[in-house]
Amino acid sequence: MERVMEKKPRDSEMNRLDEFINELRQKGLNVTYQRLLIFKHLMKTKNHPTAEEIYREVIQEYPSLSMATVYKILETLTQHNLIAKVNPLHGEARYDGDPRPHHHLVCVSCKKIVDVPENGLNHLPLPEVANFKVMGYRVQFEGLCDECAGKTEPERPALDTEVTFCGKAPEEVKRPN
Ligand SMILES: [Zn+2]
Ligand SMILES: [Zn+2]
């Protein structure tokens, strides 16, 4: 097999990359430098980046790559279940280099997404609903990350329905008692 990468990644990364290349071939997709570049970046980051964030990273290595191509590649890889698309709280789509079912913590303020390590969540009882065959699930926990929790006023509960985080506290907000 032709090696496209120059730097030698760590063993686990190498395996993931080999797996990815095999899967591309099995699915009849061309193994292109651009696809490998984007996957390599997704594999490394734990941040579940947006398409634009991925674009900004990969053009450092491949300056002529267009945003449209990045979108197209992300869509193709998502359709073939080689990566996953995550839509936290109906915001902008975010991409996950790990397409296997796993669970997320989502910060409702900064929309940070963090993977939850497997801790029994993969063994929840499946609901039995007529006319619907449940095949899997992903759990999304919503809350505040450490950084954002620090911005809230201490006496307020951590999770309010409409919390806005700005530098100053609103001066004359009437609250029902
Ligand atoms: Zn946050
Ligand atoms: Zn994830």
Cα(58) to ligand 1 centroid in Å equals 25
For the chain, domain boundaries: 1-99, 101-177
Considering every ligand atom, which ligand is closest to the CA of 143? 1
Cα dihedral sign, 67-54-89-151: negative
Task: Please give the sequence-ordered ranges of beta strands (E in DSSP) within the chain, or none if there are none.
Answer: 84-86, 94-96, 103-107, 113-116, 140-143
Cα(105) to ligand 2 centroid in Å equals 9
pLDDT digits (tens, 9 = 90+) for 94-124: 999 998 889 999 999 999 999 998 778 888 8
**Separation between Cα atoms, residue 61 and residue 44, nearest integer Å:** 15
Query: What percent of the chain is modeled with pLDDT above 70?
Result: 79
pLDDT for residue 11:
59
Cα(119) to ligand 2 centroid in Å equals 15
By the 8 A CB rule, do 49 and 94 touch?
Answer: yes
Those residues whose beta carbon sits under 5 angstroms from the ion ligand 1 are 107, 109-110, 112, 145, 148
Residue from 138, 128, 130 nearest 102 by CA = 138
69 phi/psi in degrees, rounded to 5: -65, -40
pLDDT digits (tens, 9 = 90+) for 44-102: 998 999 999 999 999 999 999 999 999 999 999 999 999 999 987 777 899 999 988 89
CATH architecture of 1-99: Orthogonal Bundle (1.10)
By the 8 A CB rule, do 87 and 94 touch?
Answer: yes
